[in-house]
Amino acid sequence: MITFNHVTKRYNEEKTAVKDLNFTVEKGNIVVLLGPSGCGKTTLLRMVNRLESISEGNIVINEQDSMDLNAIELRRKVGYVIQSNGLFPNMTIEENVMIVPDLLGWTKKEKRERFDYLMKLIGLDPKIYRKRFPHELSGGQQQRIGVVRALAADPPVMLMDEPFGALDPIIREKIQDEFLQIQREVKKTILFVSHDIDEAIKMGDKIVLLRDGEIMQYDTPSEMLTHPKNEFVSQFFGKDRAIKSLSLHTVKNLQEVIGLAHIDDAIEDTKTINVNQDLRNTISMLLNQEADQVIVTDDQGERIGSITIDLVQKYLHFEIKGKLSVSQEG
């Protein structure tokens, strides 16, 4: 858990980057810092591990004031992922990943086992990549390594500064999905900086929307899209908020509410998606005629049903009707 108590950052009398912020990142949640350029996102993130000093207020990490810790000790307890991945070119992948465990005095056996576990977690064979160097990997692979390096010493808290921003859209979406799958297993407390609205909606349990160092709204993505607190929030998320909100619904949600359609093996033009895929992307496949049938698999890769446009429409009608009923009862 990370708690910000009246946190302020002043560079001088004329420039205040962060103004008296108060909010809490609950344990095991991803909170996305979102807002226009210069709103204080990265400054706020870097104050957590004291790469930026705090002018006023304090930041409490798991019931301990960050200022009570030695700065180096603090940074070893907080995973940090940046856009450029920050891998050392003269070190092997294993050496890069094991930097913090090495500083903490882990044994060779402990480091090897942890490296193998983490590499399998991101779908890279540890035997193949152990002795390779960063330049031998693709951009997406390097970014994966940057993420597992931050996870290496099993820190309770992770800071992520636009970690997927340098990747092309297709690779970025794939790695976002992979990271959310990892998060379901490791359940870290994560503060995540993004400038991308769709990414914030997809990745965040909650979003802090900032403007000029102040919080405009701190809420779940669903609440921000359906109940923006002011005109700035409404305009920032745009007029297509209803379409964006489809990213909050997954195929699994649909399956739990109304079930999936049967798979027609006679149809040749198909796409296959995981049950945790969001409905916005699923609908795009169908509307863009990328496939006549979208087949759904579970986390073990087993086929469990299919999706059609009619099925999605039925689900959304059910959801809207349910929300109206709750609203009327209230």
The rounded distance, in Å, linking the Cα atoms of 202 and 200 is 5
* Same domain, yes or no: 262 and 171: no
What phi and psi, each to the nearest 5 degrees, are found at residue 83? -60, -40
Q: What is the pLDDT of residue 248?
A: 78
* Same domain, yes or no: 17 and 39: yes
Q: What is the pLDDT of residue 329?
A: 42
Provide the 8-state DSSP code for 147. H
* Same domain, yes or no: 209 and 262: no
| Helices (H), ranges, the chain | 41-48, 71-77, 93-97, 99-103, 108-121, 126-129, 139-151, 169-186, 197-203, 221-226, 231-237, 241-244, 251-258, 279-287, 309-329
For the segment 17-34, what is each residue's pLDDT rounded down to a tens digit? 999 999 999 999 999 999
* Same domain, yes or no: 258 and 186: no
CB atoms closer than 10 angstroms to residue 49: 22
For the segment 182-215, what is each residue's pLDDT rounded down to a tens digit? 888 889 999 999 998 989 998 999 999 999 999 9
Total domain count for the chain?
2
Comparison of pLDDT for 323 and 256, the residue scoring more: 256
- CB-based contacts of 29: which residues, under 8 Å, 6+ apart? 189, 190, 205, 206
In this predicted structure, which of 24-28, 79-83, 139-143, 315-319 has the lowest mean pLDDT?
315-319
**Residue 157 sits in which domain range?**
2-240
* Same domain, yes or no: 17 and 127: yes
* Same domain, yes or no: 85 and 205: yes
* Same domain, yes or no: 320 and 190: no
For the segment 284-307, what is each residue's pLDDT rounded down to a tens digit? 787 777 778 899 999 889 999 998
The rounded distance, in Å, linking the Cα atoms of 114 and 108 is 10
What is the three-state SS of 204-253?
Answer: CCEEEEEECCEEEEEECHHHHHHCCCCHHHHHHHCCCHHHHHHHHCEHHH
Pairing type for strands 2-10 and 16-25 reads: antiparallel
Beta carbons of 247 and 276 less than 8 angstroms apart: no
Q: How many residues does the chain have?
A: 330
CATH number at residue 60: 3.40.50.300
* Same domain, yes or no: 298 and 207: no
Identify the domain boundary among 240, 266, 281. 240
Q: What is the pLDDT of residue 324?
A: 37
In this predicted structure, which of 45-59, 95-109, 125-139, 155-169 has the lowest mean pLDDT?
155-169
Comparison of pLDDT for 316 and 298, the residue scoring more: 298
What phi and psi, each to the nearest 5 degrees, are found at residue 283? -65, -40
Comparison of pLDDT for 239 and 229, the residue scoring more: 229
CB-facing half-sphere around the CA of 229: CA atoms within 13 A: 11
Q: What is the pLDDT of residue 321?
A: 52
Q: What is the pLDDT of residue 323?
A: 45
Comparison of pLDDT for 101 and 247, the residue scoring more: 101
Q: Give the pair of three-digit tokens for residue 204.
A: 């965040």
pLDDT > 90 in the chain, percent: 45
* Same domain, yes or no: 299 and 193: no
